Structure 1
Amino acid sequence: MSVGASSSHVAAGGATSGLTINLHPLPILNVSDHLNRLRLTSKGESEIIGALLGSETNREISIANSFELVYAAPEGDVDMGESSTDPNRGSRTQKLDTAFMETRRDQYKQVFPTLDVVGWYSVGEQPSPEDVNFHQQFTQIIDTPIFLLFNPNHPSDSQALPVAIYEAALAEGGKDETIEGKFVELAYGIETGEAERIAVDGVTRGGMGGEGEESTVVANLTTQRNAIRMLYERVAVLLQYITGVINKAAEPDHNILRQVSALVATLPTMDAKEFREELVTEYSDVQLTAYLTTLTKQLNALSDYADKHNLLHPPPIDDFGTSQGGMRGGRGFTGYEMGGGGRRKR
């Protein structure tokens, strides 16, 4: 069930503007971090708002980042949030601090020139009158702002993300007039880059138990296990489909079959001579690297031992102030006294 499906501020039959939304993981992490920090530093639940940064191409919006916003309370004080236990909450109108938003937007554009404010976010189970108030203020700054609602009470066993995205509902027939105080939910997809996947993977590993090297090993093994399990499940689906096509139990889809054929063609041939030679070469390189690492560690340990030995047993100093370690009259590293006629044990 989507967030806010039973809200009186969500129009069941409202028309959308046909936007395609691509959501990156970073805004979700930012909103969650914003909520957790505010819960730890303030009493009770607080109103949370922020701006969504992204890019718009034709009718496609990509939400890539976000930053926090402040608003001016009715008394004129700038605040990051207002307690939800306030009896006047909902009867007073909070005003968005547009000057602060413009300053933060200009700062972000200096670092990310391709990103601009495309909407805003809040936290709650469903759209509220305060959300309608803030959205109306954003419409005076942005032509078609989108509204992201993060649900902190989302069921933990649900496979869906605790996020819903809305825009102002249009009148029937797709006219430009908006339905006053109503939202319509938009479908969205998840878009990630390689850098974002690495960052999310790092956040996931940070929450695992254990300390030091143990935590790192467990995290790496867990990641590999999940990747192998996912690969196995997908291969099983492909195998089941191919078996069904061969047994005439499933309708053949030539587009899927071509993709499967191209995927199989990219796999290495295990019996090929070139593959075996490359495997042996790579294996030898790995073993050589391991041997060099071990040898380096042993040399380092020997060097440390020699330094400690020289510190505990310094060589004698002659009348000229010159060390005679390992030379005539002195005692070398092996503990023998070097003389003119040979060496003898001291």
Structure 2
Amino acid sequence: MTSEPSSSSHIAVGGATSGLAVNLHPLPILNVSDHLNRTRLVASQCTKVIGALLGTETNREISIVNSFELIIGSADGDVEMEESSASSSRPIDGQALNLSFLEARKDQFKQVFPALDIVGWYSVGESPSTEDVSLHQEFAEMVDTPIFLLFNPNDRPGSQTLPITIFESALAEGGKDEVNGGRFVELAYGIETGEAERIAVDGVSRGGMGGEREESIVVANLTTQRNAIRMLYERIAVLLQYITVVINENAKPDHPILRQISALVASLPTMDAKEFRDELVTEYSDVQLTAYLTNLTKQLNALSEYADKYNVLHPPPSEDFGGSHGGMRGGRGFGGFEMGGSTVRRNRR
């Protein structure tokens, strides 16, 4: 998959590539989009959005699996970032890439995902800029042949391709890297997904990933109902348009279709009929009664458990010893009635 070529002085048209095959997973795409949206909502002015790409490299094939955000400039108040210094930050067009923050995040992700390494970085824009060239030089010192993912937020609506372009440093004659010359060459990439990723993306598209669990279920159900109602509305609009055209004699009537429409309308319930209201009230009462019975069963179960626990902690008084008047009456616990019977027989002798 490739995007349309962008006109930029930093793109080498028809430049030589290193032959990398890039596979892009859905998670980095979602991360970049989420990073951009949160930055736009929080920042009062346009800021640079960058991050690192995590993945695996096998021979000449790179799989981009995950990503994490990076920062430019100081980040006072971030407890997870070490204090920036002149040795850990380098100037980039008046700003600085915090390398200590990058190393800290890299170590944290390495502990959780030991098989993933930094394979490149991402940014946002319509085409590579001079600042992107400087950032790419920084990453080239840490990663051999880093790739550069550019997310275009101003891509035209209705495009059949993703608003993503992946670059690497153009190669000069002899196979040397031209990163210092500020030239990029576009790479073709493919989308690779697993079963778990498809389920996660489907959940995100349905709106079931945000908020608490109960809230997520409610949002997912409402989204499904909204889609179903919208589809029903669109189909009813088509039928209404056809009936209107036939009534206005602008189209020849199709009697089989008209009979199907008539049968469909006849099968619909009359919303104001007494039978419909009675049935609705009956179903509503059944649902409420079921809910009440469920709550009553839960309360009885809790009461039974409480009684069992109370009997364990406070057993009833023992009747083995009947006090000063009865001696061993009843004989419970120590031989029971056998001991009392033998005593009576001895007295009779």
Residue 234 of structure 1 is matched in structure 2 by: none
SS where residue 103 of structure 1 aligns? helix
C-alpha distance after superposition, 1:225-245 (max 9, x if no partner): xxxxxxxxxxxxxxxxxxxxx
5+ residue gaps in structure 1?
81-89, 225-295, 308-346
Alignment of 1:180-195 (within 5 A): 180-195=181-196
Task: Check whether the contact 2:169–2:185 (CA below 8 A) recurs between aligned residues.
Answer: yes
Residue 319 of structure 1 is matched in structure 2 by: none
What's the RMSD between the two structures over aligned residues?
3.6
Residue 136 of structure 1 is matched in structure 2 by: 137
Relative to structure 1, the CA distance from residue 170 to residue 125 in structure 2 (aligned partners, 3 Å threshold; closer, same or farther) is same
What is the Cα deviation at residue 195 of structure 1? 1.3
Q: TM-score, normalised by structure 1?
A: 0.57
Alignment of 1:11-26 (within 5 A): 11-26=12-27
Q: Which has the larger radius of gyration?
A: 2
Question: How far apart in 2 are the matches of 1:48 and 1:198?
Answer: 28
Residue 294 of structure 2 is matched in structure 1 by: 300
Percentage of pairs with the same residue? 60
Residue 178 of structure 1 is matched in structure 2 by: 178
Residue 220 of structure 2 is matched in structure 1 by: 216
Task: Check whether the contact 2:92–2:134 (CA below 8 A) recurs between aligned residues.
Answer: no
Q: TM-score, normalised by structure 2?
A: 0.57
What letter matches 2:207 in structure 1?
G
C-alpha distance after superposition, 1:73-124 (max 9, x if no partner): xxxx4589xxxxxxxxx99343322111111001001000000110000000
Residue 30 of structure 2 is matched in structure 1 by: 29
What is the Cα deviation at residue 50 of structure 1? 0.6
Question: How far apart in 2 are the matches of 1:214 and 1:30?
Answer: 24
In the alignment, is residue 65 of structure 1 matched against residue 66 of structure 2? Answer: yes
What letter matches 2:175 in structure 1?
K
Relative to structure 1, the CA distance from residue 4 to residue 135 in structure 2 (aligned partners, 3 Å threshold; closer, same or farther) is farther
Task: Check whether the contact 2:208–2:217 (CA below 8 A) recurs between aligned residues.
Answer: no
What is the Cα deviation at residue 44 of structure 1? 2.1
Relative to structure 1, the CA distance from residue 212 to residue 193 in structure 2 (aligned partners, 3 Å threshold; closer, same or farther) is closer
Residue 115 of structure 2 is matched in structure 1 by: 114
Task: Check whether the contact 2:92–2:131 (CA below 8 A) recurs between aligned residues.
Answer: no
Residue 126 of structure 2 is matched in structure 1 by: 125
What is the Cα deviation at residue 21 of structure 1? 0.3
Alignment of 1:155-304 (within 5 A): 155-172=156-173, 175-178=175-178, 180-206=181-207, 215-217=219-221, 219-220=223-224, 300=294, 303=297
What is the Cα deviation at residue 197 of structure 1? 1.1
What is the Cα deviation at residue 199 of structure 1? 1.2
Residue 49 of structure 2 is matched in structure 1 by: 48
What is the Cα deviation at residue 177 of structure 1? 3.8
Residue 338 of structure 1 is matched in structure 2 by: none
In the alignment, is residue 38 of structure 1 matched against residue 45 of structure 2? Answer: no
5+ residue gaps in structure 2?
79-90, 210-214, 229-289, 302-349
Task: Check whether the contact 1:3–1:163 (CA below 8 A) recurs between aligned residues.
Answer: no
**Which has the larger helix fraction?**
2
Question: How far apart in 2 are the matches of 1:115 and 1:45?
Answer: 31
Question: How far apart in 2 are the matches of 1:67 and 1:91?
Answer: 20
Question: How far apart in 2 are the matches of 1:143 and 1:23?
Answer: 19
Question: How far apart in 2 are the matches of 1:91 and 1:107?
Answer: 25
What letter matches 1:143 in structure 2?
D
What letter matches 1:166 in structure 2?
F
